[in-house]
Amino acid sequence: MTMIKVRAGDSIDKALRALKKRLDKEGVMKSVKAHRFYAKPSVKKRAKSKAALKYKRTR
């Protein structure tokens, strides 16, 4: 579980920004979005292949 320590006097906005940054760094939101709907194995395989091809083109 991701936790952010908030010091006395810090604003809530600053704490939320830090939480969002940590969630993004840990890949939590990406994982949640990926598991939001069921994807057939063939669709996952196709997406993985497409991502690999895109990565290969940029390098």
pTM of the model: 0.58
Locate 23 and state its tokens. Answer: 């969630």
Residue 29 belongs to what H/E stretch? helix 28-34
Give me the pLDDT at residue 2, please. Answer: 85
Kindly state the tokens that stand for 39.
């994807």
* Cβ-defined contacts of 56-59 (< 8 Å, 24+): none
For the chain, give every domain's residue range. Answer: 12-58
pLDDT of 32-47, one tens digit each? 998 999 999 999 999 9
